[in-house]
Amino acid sequence: MPEPFEPRTDPDVDLRVPADRRELTARPATILAAIAAGGVLGALARAGLQHAVPHPPTGFPWATFTINTSGCLLIGVLMAVLGHLDGGPPLARPFLGVGVLGGFTTFSTYAVDVQQAIVVGAPGTALAYLAATVLGALVAVGVGDAATTGLLRQATR
Amino acid sequence: MTVLLIALGAAVGAPLRYLTDRAVQSRHGSAFPWGTLLVNVAGSLLLGIVVGWPAGPAVSALLGTGFCGALTTYSTFSYETLRLTTGGHRLLALTNVLGSVTAGLAAATAGYALARALTG
């Protein structure tokens, strides 16, 4: 009998969720391999987009901005779908959430791009990028979660 | 070659985020996402060092794009902030946003300055 899916704060691993506590001890190699495989796919997609849309040191990092906001939209959608499915297939969250979306989105590039814009003397770009990414990401994750939850409720009514 | 190095870095970085998050959570009971904050700040510090160092394209691909990119996450950070907000922990959510951005930027700056100081 499956346990009820509890509301979680952390999409990577939330030790207050019973299934997450057992996840790694039950089959560590499978879980870590799924996360690694997803991480590789996400990181390569990110690298491809950053390569396709490069930005000058003083310019707005559009590729990374788009990657981070779209990744946040998608994690909202994914977690709402998985919540609707009582957690979904066991490897879905580790592979898609922790791996693909975790590997796709990046906080380090965001922080360093802000810092580099300051270093090259473009504080306006740095501030705009800093604020736009935070606000865009939070709006995106909220919209992804709310819209998906609403649609799933309508569909099952 | 670059693609392989990015893949290798990400294959290590993504599971390391999961394991770090798990280890940090097992040591405290609060709702605040300390694990995500830790990986994001550590990754920003390391990427600052990589960018400040005269690192070649191979090192940048392996450590920067692959490892740091997969170790750090914006999706988990934003989802946790959303959950803190909807769960009634608005102050924690605000602290998470301001704290992550400030600490991440400070770490990136420190890493970059350190690498520049060491390499002249």
Tens digit of each residue's pLDDT (9 = 90 or more) over A41-77: 999 999 999 999 999 989 999 999 999 999 999 999 9
Q: Do B97 and A142 touch (CB under 8 A)?
A: no
Question: Could you tell me if A80 lies within 8 Å of chain B, comparing CB atoms?
Answer: no
Query: Which ipTM score applies to this complex?
Result: 0.97
Determine the distance in angstroms separating the CA of A40 from the nearest CA of chain B, rounded to an integer: 5
Instruction: Calculate mean pLDDT across residues B55-68.
Output: 96
Per the CB < 8 A criterion, the answer to whether B56 and A115 are in contact is no
Nearest residue of chain A to residue B26 (CA atoms):
A15
Nearest residue of chain B to residue A118 (CA atoms):
B109
pLDDT at B28: 87
The structure tokens listed for A121 are 């003397």
Q: Do A97 and B35 touch (CB under 8 A)?
A: no
pLDDT at A139: 98
Please determine, for residue A4, whether its predicted confidence score (pLDDT) is greater than 50.
no
pLDDT at A7: 75
A102 in a known ligand binding site: yes
pLDDT at A1: 39
Determine the distance in angstroms separating the CA of A35 from the nearest CA of chain B, rounded to an integer: 6
Q: Quick one: DSSP state of residue B66?
A: I
pLDDT at A3: 44
User: In chain A, which residue ranges form alpha helices assigned H by DSSP?
Assistant: 18-26, 28-52, 62-84, 92, 102-104, 108-119, 123-156
Locate the DSSP E strands across chain B: none
Reported as a single tens digit per residue, the pLDDT across A88-126 is 999 999 999 999 999 999 999 999 999 999 999 999 999
Taking alpha carbons only, the member of B23, B31, B41 closest to residue B106 is B41
How far, in Å, CA of B109 to CA of B6, rounded?
Answer: 23
User: Mutate which of B78, B85, B97, B102 to disrupt the A interface (most A C-beta within 10 Å)?
Assistant: B78
Please determine, for residue A2, whether its predicted confidence score (pLDDT) is greater than 60.
no
Average pLDDT, chain A: 94
Determine the distance in angstroms separating the CA of A155 from the nearest CA of chain B, rounded to an integer: 23
Give helix then strand counts, H and E, for chain B. Answer: 6, 0
Q: Quick one: DSSP state of residue A70?
A: H
How far, in Å, CA of A153 to CA of A136, rounded?
Answer: 25
Measured between beta carbons, the chain B residues lying within 8 angstroms of A36 are: 10-12, 14-15
Instruction: Calculate mean pLDDT across residues B40-58.
Output: 96
Residues B2, B46, B27, A14, CA torsion sign: negative
- Residue B98 burial (CB < 10 Å; 0-12/13-18/19+)? exposed
Per the CB < 8 A criterion, the answer to whether A138 and B94 are in contact is no
pLDDT at B98: 98
User: Mutate which of A77, A108, A116, A120 to disrupt the B interface (most B C-beta within 10 Å)?
Assistant: A108
Residue B111's pLDDT band (boundaries 50, 70, 90)? very high
Angle at alpha carbon of residue A111, lines to A93 and B120, rounded to 5°: 130
